[in-house]
Amino acid sequence: MKIHKEGRTTILIVIVTIAVILAVIITFSLYNFWILTVFGSASLVVLLQTLMFFRIPQRDILIKEDGIVSPADGRIVMIQEVEINEYLKEKRLQVSIFMNMFNVHVNWYPCAGDIVYYKYHPGAKMVAWHPKSSEKNEHTTVFLNQGKHVIGVKQVAGLIARRVICKARIGKQVLQCSELGIIKFGSRVDILLPPDAEVLVRKGQRVWGCETLIANLK
């Protein structure tokens, strides 16, 4: 397992903060067995949780030319037809994956292709499972020309997400399951599929990035 480079500064801040608080406790003799036990336990939980946010686990990567592979770890919270008005003006089948605080927060490209559109949108901090969060919250929108189809991916920040980082650049060729970016302490990824795509997952199902096949393209 590796730690994402975007998490190194955050992890360092957490470690320094814990060290400073511990130094104050010891310097002013504010400690006893229970204070040290509670502080030590809380510090360990915070540090481990921070490491979990930024971990990059080893994966058995699934490559499928006409398949859409999950771009994130999490749970399916929405599968429905939506009308999109960004880049494409048409109906799309949206599959949304919610990432909780224990999931890996690195995101991957669900298919290979050429990036034909990318835009960052500042926005609100609604809970990520809210239907309006895709439009109202801070998010990025990416469209890839897969060859036969144009596939959309959105990284959507949630209530406690602090920063959406996306590596997409227009004109860049990307491989399936290469890194799209990361949502710091964040929260949801939407896939925008052709209406006739064969969706292989169901609402409430748990999925794993680069391992779970979300849909087949026709």
Active-site positions?
A: 187
DSSP three-state, residue 146: coil
Locate all alpha helices (DSSP H) within the chain, ordered by sequence. Answer: 8-27, 33-53, 133-136
* Strands annotated E in 18-149: 55-56, 67-69, 74-86, 88-98, 106-108, 113-121, 139-145
CB-neighbour burial class of residue 115 (10 A; exposed 0-12, middle 13-18, buried 19+): buried
DSSP three-state, residue 132: coil
Sheet holding 188-193, edge to edge: 173-174, 113-121, 139-145, 150-156, 188-193, 88-98, 74-86, 206-207
Which uninterrupted H or E stretch holds 57?
none
**Terminal-residue alpha carbon distance, the chain:** 35
Give the contacts of 131 (CB within 8 A, at least 6 positions apart).
Answer: 78
